[in-house]
Chains A and B, each alone.
Chain A
Amino acid sequence: MPRLGWLVGRLLQIVPTFLLIGIAVFVLARLLPGDAVSAMLGDRASDATINRLTAELGLNRSLGAQLLAFLTAAAQGDFGASLSRHVPVMRLVAEALPVTLSLVAIATTLALAIALPLAFIAALNANRWPDIAIRAVFQVGLSSPVFYIGLILLTVFAGWLGWFPVGGYGESVSEHLYHLFLPGLTLSLSFAAVVMRNLRAAVLAVLTAEYVDFARAKGLARSVVLLRHVLRNALIATVTLVGLHVGALLGGAVITETVFAVPGVGRLMIDSIFARDYPVIQALTLVLAVLVSLAFLVTDFVQMWLDPRVGR
């Protein structure tokens, strides 16, 4: 039962978090210098046109009135219409979100697929050449800008070799996966580097733990020791890291989606910020906040599963 109470508590924490995020994003969007109408009409519009559109969009109301209207509508799932595109915001979000979620899922899968075995190899060969080589390669991945890695992968694997399409998203599910492989790989590399270094350190620490010595002393097979005792315990910190990194992956998606012409929320967010399209900025930030909160929640669940002491 203590676990159930802990879980309910975690879920309840999300509600005020969203409210605070909603207020914060509303205020922050309006603290940005410049305004939506100027951004929409550019520098040619007359004052009369600016004033008329400002009134039409309800942007001449007091900030308090606008905030109240936003929170009331948002509570009912209505985020209004995009100021620049004139379509419902949630439609834009609904079109872009699955794309970014797929990209992040592919990036996470690739990062783990790359990092987990290599972290083990590095840890088990600590300070010998495989370890040094793996760390050196990942250092490059960690220190290279995402757009640079993306451009190199795009040029080599899509442009020169023709193994992958040059950007875009495709039409069918299989095409989506095909199109998202290179951007997913781009996004995964720096993440894989972080996971690899973290897990390598964790494995090294666990390898010297008394319970591992005890397991070995019991005569358990090396593979059993590694999988059941070392991996499970070393993963606790890595799971936390993966959960925390979801936000960073969503941030990285902004650049990756631009380079690879992927129509996800990252590009939508950038376009909307430049256009001061407040309803889209607000909805996207809230949706991303929900996703990150959910990722944290899932992280807590997995941690609890890996380490039963959590939640007691």
Chain B
Amino acid sequence: MTASLTSTRRGLFGLAAGFAALSLADTAQAAPKRGGKLVYGRYADSLFLDPVLNDANVDIWVINSVYDTLLLPTADGLGVQEGLASKWAFSDGGKTLTLTVRSGVKFADGSPLKISDVKWSLDRARDPKAGAWNDMIASIDAVDIAGPDSIVLKLKTPDPTILAALATFNTSIMSQALFEAAPGATPDDKAKAFAEKPIGTGPFMLVEWRRNQVMRLVRNPHYWRMAEDGKPLPYVDELELQIIPDDNTRILKLKAGELHGSEFIPLARVKELQADASLRMELWPSTKVTYLSMMVKPTLTDGKPNPLANQKVRQALNYAVNKDAVIAITTLGLGKPMRSFMSSTTPLFDGPAPLYPYDLAKAKALLAEAGFSGGFEVSCMTVAGNQDNLNNLTTVQQMWAAIGVKLKIEQMDNPSLTKKYRAEDFQMRTAAWTNDISDPGQITSYFAYGPNIHALHSGWDDKRLDEVFLASQQETDPAKRRAQYQEIQKIFADAATIVPLYETPYTVAWRKNVSGFVQIPLGNNYFVGAAIG
């Protein structure tokens, strides 16, 4: 977090108690101006703006501009706060969750939000046949309407992740009537039509979408949230999201004043933009972690033995990487070393000490113990054209040469890499991860829990970890769950099935006259509190 950020955090959550600590620094500021068109440069266009059926961050990260969820994530990514629901309470030993939905909320077309819309949206989101995200609310057994403003979730088991799930994009509340009025014979057809011009209760509504060029959103005149001055949010009248895939062009456009803001500033350009008096460079804490993952089965698909099956070999490779040097070279010092497989912005993160501090002697000793004192060759696949990953690998390549390990770099396009990864036909791969939900359950189920995707398709499985993880998914005592996650993170770190490299922030640059934008650690962009001037 940079100091410059404190001035940007006024709008979105300023009204919420959960965000009070983060907005203290701004209380002395003048009220933001209203009106105007905010123009923001994105690196890629959205694909399918359906909360349930989307597959990609380009959708997830803007869907909250159009839709609301019952709860909202806090800006630090660690908790939830009021959204469309103003109150919530657990009962029945954590197996019943009752939420009170605000009255008087309207969709952007002026139609009222009904409690039946809430039930319909949650039922649609938890349908096991719909989309890729229904697992996140698989604990819901039934959604019942308990009154005109009351919804009751009956859970199969107590679920400590359910509140975070109700603040996640796929549980966005949609209008059943508007959805069903969309053209199309089947629900899938209607979803496609509705996603072209979605109408939600969120701060903006999409009025024009020229693919690969621009999305134009105007303020929702019926938006329910009020700013600190008692007037409705959002501050700007219009939000224009321009699609500019080339980083240099996006930055040039920002400097020329054709954009107010731009996302994904390359780390190599951050210092330059920090020095530009007309701009403000924001570094938002993220859940993004960059690492090398390993396949640890004893035999490779070509029948050859896999040295990475040996835990000591994996630990040796970890000790032989000077993470600070990698961070200096690739992120120009803007990253920080990972201390767990999950980012430090993830709830229940536990990283008491650096993971495998650089120690060549220890690395050599471990290799010798494992019977590989003469070294070996290992291959790592990476997406062609990704310069950061290539920098990481060429740096690691030199470091591993010092312990006799020859790293072969295999560049390929992403679908090819994904196919080999899913088939577990690889030795190592470069990878990065961001959480979709403010809870450690998701990342743990992918990285460490064997039965889901074989712990990042490594083939590694630890029965004790699996057992603790399953227990943690039903543990509602925060202290006990924290202890469970401490154990999970320790077991995983010892197993060394990844080479953790670094965490990096989201890089967003703004013209100096814009304030109030928020990007939460999950990546979601909040323009609701942004103002010009």
Give residues in A with beta carbon < 8 Å to B. Answer: 32-35, 38-46, 49-50, 52, 56, 81, 84-87, 92, 95-96, 151, 154-155, 158-159, 162, 165-169, 258-261, 263, 267-268, 271, 274-276
Contact = CB atoms under 8 A, between A and B. Distances in A.
Given A263-B213, A267-B212, A166 B249 contact: yes
A34 B413 contact: yes
Contact of A32 (B244, B245, B415): B415
Contacts of A44: 132, 446, 453
B243 A159 contact: no
B27 interface: no
Contact of B132 (A35, A49, A267): A49
Interface of B: 44, 47-48, 55-56, 129, 132, 135, 188, 191-192, 195-196, 210-213, 242-246, 248-250, 252-253, 255-256, 258, 412-419, 421-422, 431, 446, 452-453, 457
A42 B418 contact: yes
Contacts of A263: 210-213, 243
B244 A261 contact: yes
A159 B256 contact: yes
B202 to A, nearest CB: 21
Given A86-B195, A95-B211, A166-B256, A261 B243 contact: yes
A33 B412 contact: yes
15 contacts: A32-B415, A34-B416, A34-B418, A34-B419, A46-B453, A85-B47, A87-B196, A95-B211, A261-B213, A261-B244, A261-B246, A261-B250, A263-B211, A263-B243, A271-B212
A42 B325 CA distance: 30
A85 B53 CA distance: 11
A259 B249 CA distance: 6
A45 B132 contact: yes
Contact of A166 (B129, B252, B417): B252
Contacts of B413: 33-34, 274
Contacts of B55: 40-42, 84
Contacts of A162: 256
Contacts of A275: 415
A85 B48 contact: yes
Contacts of A40: 55-56
Contacts of A168: 213, 242, 244, 253, 258
A33 B384 CA distance: 14
Contacts of A34: 413-419
Given A33-B416, A49-B132, A268 B212 contact: yes
A299 B418 CA distance: 44
B244 A52 contact: no
A166 B258 CA distance: 8
Contacts of B452: 46
Nearest to A92: B211
Contacts of B188: 56
Contacts of A167: 244, 246, 249, 252-253
Contacts of B135: 46
B246 A258 contact: yes
Q: Which of A45, A52, A167 counts the most B-chain CB atoms under 10 A from its CB? A: A167
A42 B249 CA distance: 27
A40 B56 CA distance: 8
Contact of B192 (A86, A166, A268): A86
A259 B246 contact: yes
Contact of B421 (A43, A49, A50): A43
B446 A261 contact: no
B442 to A, nearest CB: 9
Contacts of A165: 258
B252 A155 contact: yes
Nearest to B255: A159
